[in-house]
Every structure is written in structure tokens, then in C-alpha cells.
Amino acid sequence: MKNSVTQLKFGILLFIITSGIIFAEPEPSPITLDLKGAATVMDFLPSGSKKQGEQIQKIETDYFNIEIDSKGGSIRSLRHKDQENKIKNNVDFVTVDPFYFNVYKTPDSSDMFKNSQYKLQLTGNSREIIVKASLDVMVKTNQGTYPVLIVKTYKFDKILHYWNFSWGIENNSAQKLYIPELYFIPINDIGPVPVNNSTNFEKNLKDFYYMDDKYTSLALKAATGGDGVSSLLCSKKESKTGDIETKKGNLEYFGMGSRFMIMTIQPLTKADAVTIVINSHMKNEMHAHLAPQIIEPHQKGNYSFLLYTGPKVNKFFNLTPDMTQRMENLKLLNKELYKAFDFGVTAPIRDFLVVILKLLYKIIPNYGVAIILLVIGLRGIFFPLNQAQAKSMKKMQELQPLVKEINEKYKNNPQEKQRKTMEVYKKNKANPMGGCLPMIIQIPVLIALISAFTDSYELWGSPFIKGWINDLSEPDTVYVFSQTLPVIGGFHVNILPIILLVSQILQAKFTMVSVDKNQKLMAQVVPVVMVVMFWSFPSGAVLYWILYNILSVLQQALTNRSKPDPIVGKKK
């Protein structure tokens, strides 16, 4: 019953897309088509021919183990091979639903293509493995029905992460056919699903598209306002099943990504829009609009696509002359495809940190130790700057009695109070902003490190202390409440954020210089805010910040023990 309801909802959604209830008719294609004598295809129908038995075609390349199912001519398993790392080996891109790579005209044809048994044929050569999935159907037109053959063609290169897909129509009639705009939905979810109970999995799933030289990404999970804390922070209008939005333009590529893996799909035949549909699972589906075609009698028409499927790793993603020589279509690869990685503005810092961590890992094969060495190294590099900060904090603390006197003496004269305070700072060569620069420098480093442990394939699954911090790319969860909590909702107990809270309080204690009550209150609130922010962050990033805080506290404590400088203006 549940499946029937889901299919009904999906059918309604597709009907809305194709009926024009919400959308106007698509704009005419700029390509001039000769429609004289052509029958306009309105839908696809079963052929009535004898049904095929179910087949499973298994193929293997250097990077993939793939299973193609005759039902729907779909990819039911697409496992990525990584022999160097057990935790990353044989992970499946396919989650619950197969990758249908479905092209359709109406909801009925969509269901028919998904449920039909295709005939599978395996061929290939020294460079690639080819699987063709063919299905006899009829096309319903404004002039009658005619037989056609639908052919899905999967071409997997034996040594690359790039591959080709085409959806073709062989016109087996003597009638010229005009095929108006079709819709293409290759997949509606992407893995791998994490082995452990991850709080970061779904929130890092995303759809993306690149249209008219502009990259856009959106969460795969539709924004509903969530529960608990997320609902308090989310101001976006609640999404509902059936919400539809169409973006028109030259669709250059689109796809879907999980935390560490990605699939990019570049149309090699014209696509002029993308429709975002919120399905019954409250996920954003992306339907590409394929441009119309004319197919002459006994001729073929194709919609072709170039795909990258694999980790977000530049060495697999970047092209070399050997690759383009091996796969001709790679010469057509969009030059802006790298934007699909979506690592943000701190990507250069992130990539640099990943390289450094990998080098440190070669010395001591533990990324937790690598983070410790990284923090020590960065503190060493920025020691002069951090020492200047520590001295500035010490000087500001020593000047607080004078500042307090000025505040009391000129409490009714803010301008004079400000002038006298700055005069004291100037005479004693103290800089109230002296502690800001090191912190400002650390912010992009921290953001880059969060990004590195959030979506860096190289750092995925890296343990530090087994039994506690088993994966630095995940929070160090030690207990999960079986019941949701009021307001908060689902809750995971993490240890590192609590240690972070202690380190933040210690740092505030050693660096607090203000006598202002509001600023003191702020100093007490900030550590709590930081813990809330860091609660679900990757433990690698939290560990980095804890170590940074501890070294800051130690440096400040040692500086505070040094002999104080004479204070100009102090009463004897």
C-alpha cells in the first residue's frame, strides 16, 4: 500500500511537470527542426511483445564493480574499489533505489521504463566495457502508434573514473517522428551510506547544476525547518511534497554528491532546463530537460552524457593528455567541472593542509598525531605573532587598574574617558587590538580544516584513539539517546566538545583584560556558543581547536610570569 501511495505521488508530480498546470509550455528550441510530415510523440507505450526474463550483468574495471539489472535497465550496484584502504574499498554509490538513468515523457512512461525487463548485451574492447539495455516499445503520436527500440548504453573505461551513457531511440517505422522535450532523472540518491551512525551524512548530501556559467548547489534533503534546534535556526520556508521549481538556461552539467563521493553528469546533446521536484521522501530530485529531436524512418536518435563517478580527489578528476587520447569525449569536458567539488573559498588552504597531514602521516601513521604535529608546527611558525599577542594581553591586564580609575573618574564624560584610556595605552605602547590578528589568521585555517575532515576523501575513516575517536571525520560520539529530547530532538553525547568548553574557559580566564561587565558576560557566553557550534563538527577539527587553545593558554601563562614592564602614569 505504501509503495502504491508513493508511486501515485510521484505520478502526480511528473504529471504536473508535463501538463503545464504550473509551468508554461517550454520555450521553442533555437534549433530549427523540419516538422513537415512528422508525427509528434506524445507518450511511450508497452509493445505487447513477449517479456524478457530477469538478467544481471556484472562487470569490473580497475575502479569499479558494477551490476546492471535488466529491470529498468538500471545500475543496481556501483561499488568503488580502493585496495589501499579497507574502509574505503568496495563502497556502493547506490543506496536504496537503483540508478535508473530514466528518460521519460509522462508519469506513465516513467513507470513503464522503470518496471520493464530490458534485454542486456555485453560487448567491449581493450579500452572499455559496454553494456546495452534494449526495450521494444510503441510511441503514441498524433497520427497513430509506431514501433521503436529504446537502447540504454553504458560505456565504462577500464582504467578511468569517467564513463559515457546514452539513451537512444531507434525508429523502426516508416514514419518520421518528432520527439518534443523529454525529461531525464539519472539518480535520486547517492552513497556511500556510512557504516557508523553518522550525524554528518545527510546534511552533506547535495544536488548541483551549472547553468549559463553559474554554479548552484542545494541540499539533497529538502529544507523542512527540521526538528528541535534546527527548526529554531532555520528560517527558510517549509518545503512540501510536490513543490516544483524550474530553472531555464543552457544546462552545462549537473549531478549529486555525498560527503566524499560525487557523480557529475554533462549532457553532450542539448539540455535547456532543470526542474527540481521534492519527492515523497522529501528529497530534491533533479530532472534535466532534453531538447527536441527529429528521427527519420529507420534511423536513430541519441541523448548522450559524459560522467565522472568517484572520490573528490583531484588526481582522478584532473585530465591528462593520455586520458583525452584514451577517451575522445573528454575533450568536450566542461572546463568549470571542478566547481562541483564545492570546497569553498578556503579550498587552497584546505588542500595545503591535507598535503601536510598526509606527509606527517607518512612519518607517524596516525592522523590524530598528525593534527598534534600540525598545531605545534603552526604555533612555531606564528610564534612571533602569538608572542606579541600574549605580551599585548599581559600589558592590557597590567593596565586595568589605571583604566578602571579613568572609567570611574570620567564616567559621566564618555569622550574624555575614551581619550584618557587611549592616552594610557599609547604611553605604555599597548595595543588593544594586538590579540586580534593571530585569531583572524586562525579562522580560515580552522574553516579549511573543518572542510578537510568533512569532505576530504583522504581523511575519511582515519582513527586516532580506537574505542573513542574511531573516525576523525565524524564527531566522537560515545552515546546516542534512544529517545528524542524536548526542543533538542535527537542527541549524541560527544566528549571532545566538552573538553573544548574547558579549554575555552581557561583561555578566556588567561586573556580577559576588560573590566566592563557586558564584555565579561560575553566572555562567559562565547565558550558555550563555541561548544554548540562545534558539537557535530568532525572530531579532527575539534581536536585541532582544543590543542590550539591549550598551547595558547600555556604561552599566555608563561608570558604572564615574566617580569612586568614599568607602567607610565601609575601613581607611586
**Residue whose entry in the numeric block shows the C-alpha cell 587590538:** 433
Q: What's the grid cell of residue 250?
A: 543552457
pLDDT in tens, 76-122: 999 999 988 877 889 999 988 899 999 999 989 999 999 999 999 99
Judged by average pLDDT, the poorest of 210-224, 322-336, 425-439, 471-485 is: 425-439
- Cα 319 to Cα 14, 95, 406: the distances in Å are 37, 29, 66
316-325, 411-420, 511-520: range with highest mean pLDDT: 316-325
Band of pLDDT at residue 56, cut at 50, 70 and 90: very high
| Residue 164 CB coordination number (10 Å) | 20
Radius of gyration, alpha carbons of the chain: 30
Beta strands 128-141 and 119-124 are antiparallel
Judged by average pLDDT, the poorest of 291-295, 437-441, 449-453, 543-547 is: 437-441
pLDDT of residue 435: 59
Domains and CATH numbers, the chain: 2-342 (2.70.98.90), 348-560 (no CATH)
Residue 432 phi/psi, 5° resolution? -60, -25
pTM value?
Answer: 0.81
Between residues 138 and 197, the one the model is more confident about: 138
Band of pLDDT at residue 73, cut at 50, 70 and 90: very high
Looking at beta carbons, which pairs linking 15-18 to residues 24 or more positions away fall under 8 Å? 15/106, 15/107, 16/242, 16/244, 17/183, 17/244, 17/275, 17/277, 17/287, 18/105, 18/106, 18/107, 18/183
Average pLDDT, the chain: 83
492's enclosing H/E stretch is: strand 492-494
For residue 133, is pLDDT > 80? yes
Judged by average pLDDT, the poorest of 314-318, 324-328, 514-518 is: 514-518
pLDDT of residue 15: 39
pLDDT in tens, 387-407: 877 887 787 777 778 878 888
pLDDT in tens, 253-272: 999 998 889 999 999 999 99
3-state secondary structure (DSSP) of residue 62: coil
For residue 553, is pLDDT > 80? yes
What percent of the chain is modeled with pLDDT above 90? 44
